[in-house]
Amino acid sequence: MNFDGKIALVTGGARGIGASIVKQFLENGAKVIIADVSPDGEQLMEQWRSQGKEVAYVHCDVSRENDVNNAVSVAEQQFGKLDIVVNNAGIFPRADLLQTDEAFWDRIMDINLKGVYLMCKAVVPVMIRQGGGCIVNMGSLHASIGGEELFAYAISKGGVVTLTRNLAHALAKHNIRVNGVHPGWVASHGERALMRAKGEDEDWPEQHSSVMPLGRLQTEDDIANSVVFLCSANAGQITGQMLTVDGGLGFSML
């Protein structure tokens, strides 16, 4: 993979899967903007800068239009253009239908789905002006299999699939590719926090590996590998696709 001269913006890039995506872009020559609500993004920026990488952090709540527009402006001001956007930011608190009140539903939809729409709306005019670009949206296996305790979450990710296909079709004429990735189960920063709150032992990823046909949970890098591939020239004829990276979990549930 060679991203020399490319500028990539990663939402939710401060931690978890997003931080791995940031790492892979930087290690392959891109300059990166981390757009996140967490101050961890600033620390990550300093770490990478100390290794000579060109990276910026912008505080951005993807559910707020002003923040999203500002993140895109910062990218253009600092780096002069924007070739790649990865809409990775997402939250996944558990609740079934009856536990889901209106505020909980709105919060999940605002971050996981509206955030993707707002970022696409902000960045597409820039990409059209530049003559092309690439967008990757983070889905979830739950978009297709549902999930009793992930009621609103699964539906928000279903919306991301529809948004991805819709924009892939609409934007192909502008040389903008739009794809997505469905991770299976990753012991990310956020997932570990949730499992700790549930009282699970620290070795829960190993304990639960037996449910995975390929024998282990996915790592952040497993997911980042596919995101970076979809943004690369090797995927130059791929658009409107959701790539499932789940160690076979989805088809084992059919």
Return the biggest CA–CA distance within the chain. 51
For ligand NAD, the binding residue among 14, 176, 227, 245 (CB under 6 A) is: 14
Does residue 111 interact with ligand NAD by CB under 6 A?
Answer: yes
For ligand NAD, the binding residue among 9, 23, 36, 150 (CB under 6 A) is: 36
* Distance of alpha carbon 190 from alpha carbon 90, whole angstroms: 10
Q: Is 117 part of the annotated catalytic residue set? A: no
Q: CA of 157: how far to CAs of 31, 79, 80, 101, 128, in Å? A: 28, 31, 32, 18, 26
Does residue 17 interact with ligand NAD by CB under 6 A?
Answer: yes
* Distance of alpha carbon 86 from alpha carbon 135, whole angstroms: 6
Does residue 190 interact with ligand NAD by CB under 6 A?
Answer: yes
Residues that bind ligand NAD (rule: CB under 6 A) add up to a total of: 29
Write down the least CB distance from residue 35 to ligand NAD, Å: 6
Please say which residue, 92 or 130, places its beta carbon nearer to ligand NAD.
Answer: 92
For ligand NAD, the binding residue among 75, 83, 90, 176 (CB under 6 A) is: 90
Residues 6+ apart with CB under 8 A from 35: 9, 10, 11, 12, 13, 41, 58, 60, 62, 68, 71, 89
Q: Which residues bind ligand NAD (CB under 6 A)?
A: 11-12, 14-18, 36-38, 60-63, 88-92, 111, 138, 140, 183, 185-186, 188-191
